Structure 1
């Protein structure tokens, strides 16, 4: 389990370093996540330790949002004055996430069906 947590932190740190040195217009955490995806694709399966850590993180995901919610509450006066762009960004972000999830799910179903047929 410690191996998996260390791997996640190392990949996030590597993603931050890549963004810092290449000046990519992306968050370092996103680059780290893409590196994790690439490593999992190359490896071909999810290591059991990483699966357990991921499961625990997903079960406690709401705890990870507390700092973000506190930050939004600190900016409540600004949000009260400029609520339209905030609401629009929330709706568009949710819609894009839904579409990306839908397309990923459909791709995974097709990939799984091809794998079963082979």
Structure 2
């Protein structure tokens, strides 16, 4: 368990350090995830080491939404003042995401010969 946690944390640390040192417009944890993926490709046995800890973390993923919920409750006044623009942004972005997903699916289906 300790080697797996150490692996995950070191990848995140390396990604964070690279993002800050190189002033990349990418979050450090995302770079760390790319490093972890590269580690999995180079050392396939690493997957078996990290899997139990990763499954444990994913099993408790809902706990990671608690800080976001606290942030929403802590800024209810601001949300009340900007409620209409936030609602409009949510609706427009949702419709656009669904449209892009559908168009991408249709394009891939056309390219593979599986037209819907």
TM-score, with length taken from structure 1: 0.68
Change (3 A) 1:74 1:55: same
Runs of 4+ in 1 over 4 A off after TM superposition: none
Q: Within the alignment, does 1:66 sit opposite 2:66 as a pair?
A: yes
Deviation at 1:45, TM superposition (A): 5.5
**Corresponding position of 1:53:** 53
**Corresponding position of 2:12:** 12
Deviation at 1:44, TM superposition (A): 3.5
Change (3 A) 1:78 1:8: same
Structure 1 stretches lacking a partner, 5+ long: 104-118
CA radius of gyration, larger in:
2
**Corresponding position of 2:21:** 21
Task: Give, in whole Å, the separation in 2 of the partners of 1:29 and 1:66.
Answer: 19
Count of equivalent residues? 99
CA-based RMSD of the aligned residues comes to 2.8
Query: Please, which moves more after superposition, 28-37 or 4-13?
Result: 28-37
Task: Give, in whole Å, the separation in 1 of the partners of 2:35 and 2:23.
Answer: 17
Question: Cα deviation per residue 1:40-89 (whole Å; 9 max; x = unaligned)?
Answer: 12224653231000110111001122112212221221122223454435
Q: Within the alignment, does 1:37 sit opposite 2:37 as a pair?
A: yes
TM-score, with length taken from structure 2: 0.69
**Corresponding position of 2:81:** 81
Structure 2 stretches lacking a partner, 5+ long: 106-116
Q: Residue 66 of structure 1 aligns to a residue in which SS?
A: helix
Q: Is the 8 A contact 2:11 2:35 kept in 1?
A: yes
